[in-house]
Amino acid sequence: MNEMCLFCGICRGAVAAQVIRQDEWTVSFRDINPVAPGHVLVVPRKHVPSAAQCDDPEMWGHLMCAVVETARAVGFEERGYRLVVNCGEEACQTIPHLHVHLLSGRRFSWPPG
Residues with active-site annotation: 99
Report which of 61, 36, 25, 44 is spatially closest to residue 100, judged by C-alpha positions: 44
d(CA 74, CA 97): 23
Rounded to the nearest angstrom, the gap between the alpha carbon of residue 21 and the centroid of all alpha carbons in its chain is 12
Provide the Cα torsion 101, 105, 106, 108; round to 10°: 30
Residue 84 near residue 47 (C-beta atoms within 8 A):
no
